[in-house]
Amino acid sequence: MKRFLFCVATALLAGSTGACTKEGAGPAEVSGTEIYGEWDWVHSVGGIAGLTYTPASTGVATRWVFKTDGTFQEYDTQQGTTRLVQSTTFAIGSAGSIHTGQPAQTLIINRQVPGPTPNTTSVQPVTYVIQGLGAQLVVADNYADGFGSTYQRR
């Protein structure tokens, strides 16, 4: 059942991107320059239950900013107040995709997470499979029961 829900969620997410590739063709190449700019979160779909989250359902509007110097910033707006959540680095890479079993381009964000001792942080690279990049950025967690998220170019 878990595998079935994952397959349905993945199929729906893949179908909503409108991206098509020729059978046997490799992944579309994404350059770092295509991702530069600001992206507003539209929705996320996934998890074992195939849940859907939006800014309206969570009360939080998230904006991702990718700068030409390799800086990534994440902002959350809640009840009219915007705050910087993360300021770190990002890279475009490549990894095997759990969704297709083929090599895929990835977005790697070096997330800052709480460190082992109080008042410290450490860096944890988080890898997303890039499923679409144009007017929308579509990324997916590269593990079972993960989420796929869509962002709209600002």
The per-residue DSSP string of 53-111 comes to: E-HHHHS-EEEEEE-TTSEEEEEEEETTEEEEEEEEEEEEEEEE-TTTSSEEEEEEEEE
Task: Report the alpha-carbon distance of residue 12 to residue 6 in Å, rounded.
Answer: 10
Q: Report residue 29's pLDDT band, with 50, 70 and 90 as the boundaries.
A: low
Question: Are 137 and 17 a contacting pair, CB within 8 Å?
Answer: no
Q: Does domain 2-19+33-153 have CATH number 2.40.128.280?
A: yes
> So what's the pLDDT on residue 1?
39
Question: Are 133 and 153 a contacting pair, CB within 8 Å?
Answer: no
Sequence ranges of the domains in the chain: 2-19+33-153
Given a cut of 80, whether residue 106 has pLDDT beyond it is: yes
Given a cut of 60, whether residue 16 has pLDDT beyond it is: no
- With 0-12 / 13-18 / 19 or more C-beta atoms within 10 angstroms meaning exposed / middle / buried, residue 98 is middle
Given a cut of 60, whether residue 7 has pLDDT beyond it is: no
pLDDT in tens, 70-105: 999 999 999 999 999 999 999 999 999 988 999 999
> So what's the pLDDT on residue 116?
87
Task: Report the alpha-carbon distance of residue 63 to residue 25 in Å, rounded.
Answer: 32
SS3 state at 112: strand
pLDDT mean over 37-47: 97
